[in-house]
Amino acid sequence: MKLIVGLGNPGLQYARTRHNVGFEAIDRLARRVVNPAASAGVGCARARFNGLTLEADIGDQRVLLLKPTTFMNRSGKSVAEAIGFFKMDAATDLLVIADDIDLPCGSLRIRGDGGAGGHNGLADILAALGSPQWSRCRIGIDKPGIIPQADYVLGRFTDDQAPQVDECIDQACLAVQVWCREGLAASMNQFNKKVTANAGEPPHNSN
């Protein structure tokens, strides 16, 4: 069993915000691996491990898709419960998808370890697991610029950012499937591509 976690905040008020790209990636992946022809409403539905889950197969690998519903800064509780229940080894069986303000929109970065980089969800998972040895897939959302960081990540993408992020979420879904089928190194080699940061004025909130 592999565990694929997308980070975000529950509730309609947080839908489509920058901080919720992990949730969006999981929902899109759920539609693709369960029924590619399904409507956009298909996603994680079963309540388990303080989150919403879906079990599916990617290739010959059984996976659990998980969206913690504990709010971002308590994500570790949900992840630790799922890992403990299935007796997984986080170093080989866990992949977490999260937003990253240090990467430009349209940029994807996959690593097998590392710190939280100021991300509260990743920090809580690090604390809960007691080790940085697990895979993470970061989706770039641009730097806040002059906007306070909390306001920025809880805001929605600008018209310029939205198509770049949408394509990046598609790439994240493909990267997860490669990670499951071929491993970390293969996913890094195929999807860690440099994207130039947006030039000009810092992005303004579209709320």
Residues with a known catalytic role? 19
User: How far apart, in whole angstroms, are the C-alpha atoms of residue 65 and residue 140?
Assistant: 21
User: 176 near 137, Cβ under 8 Å?
Assistant: yes
Whole-Å CA distances, 182 to 3, 29, 121, 188: 15, 17, 27, 11
- Three-state SS annotation for 172-186: HHHHHHHHHHHCHHH
3-state class (DSSP) for residue 57: strand
Task: Read off the amino acid at residue 125.
Answer: I
Any bridge partners for residue 150, and if so which?
none
Residue 117, classified by CB atoms within 10 Å of its CB into exposed (0-12), middle (13-18) or buried (19+), is middle
φ and ψ of 138, to 5 deg: -100, 130
Alpha helices in 45-160 (DSSP H): 75-86, 90-93, 120-129, 149-153
